[in-house]
Amino acid sequence: MSRAIGSALRQLREAQQISLSRLAQKAGLSKGLLSHAERGNNTPCLRTLEKICATLEIGLARLLSSSAADPNLLLIEDPFIRQVKPFLPFLDSERKKLLLRTLQAAPKIGRREG
């Protein structure tokens, strides 16, 4: 259980591109405590997990779910996706196609190979 929670913590933190130090600072926790938790050396108490989740702006259930390890679901946590998502329902099909073509035409530098 400790390793699963630690792995989920690390994945969710990295998906939001937050350093361990920054998360510790924002959550009011020690970097060492977070480091040990991410490596599965200990499981933080519920209050600590709540602080981490609040800082990452996710629900505790999201952290504890087994789906936290699914890399496709981590896109939901990406700050860019969170900013774009509210606008999608207002786009007609032509604008959605234009947006998709624009993203597909973006330079391939820095793209992850799937």
Asked whether the whole model's pTM tops 0.75, one would answer no
Q: Is residue 61 part of a domain?
A: yes
Cα–Cα distance for residue pair 111/114, rounded to 1 Å: 9
Q: Is residue 102 part of a domain?
A: no
Q: Give the number of other Cβ atoms within 10 Å of residue 13's Cβ.
A: 20
Q: Which residue has the tokens 């994945």?
A: 11
pLDDT of residue 114: 43
Q: Is residue 37 part of a domain?
A: yes
pLDDT of residue 6: 87
SS3 assignment, position 26: helix
pLDDT of residue 25: 96
- CB of 80 within 8 A of CB of 42? no
- CB of 13 within 8 A of CB of 23? yes
pLDDT of residue 20: 94
CATH number of the domain within which 20 lies:
1.10.260.40
Q: Is residue 86 part of a domain?
A: no
Average pLDDT per run of 10 along the chain, which is 114 residues long? 81 88 95 93 89 88 64 58 82 90 76 50
Number of alpha carbons in the 13 Å side-chain half-sphere of residue 63? 26
Q: Is residue 46 part of a domain?
A: yes
Domain count for the chain: 1
User: Any idea how long the chain is?
Assistant: 114
Q: Is residue 103 part of a domain?
A: no
Q: Is residue 90 part of a domain?
A: no
Q: Which domain holds residue 10?
A: 2-76
Q: Which two tokens stand for residue 47?
A: 């209050």
Q: Is residue 65 part of a domain?
A: yes
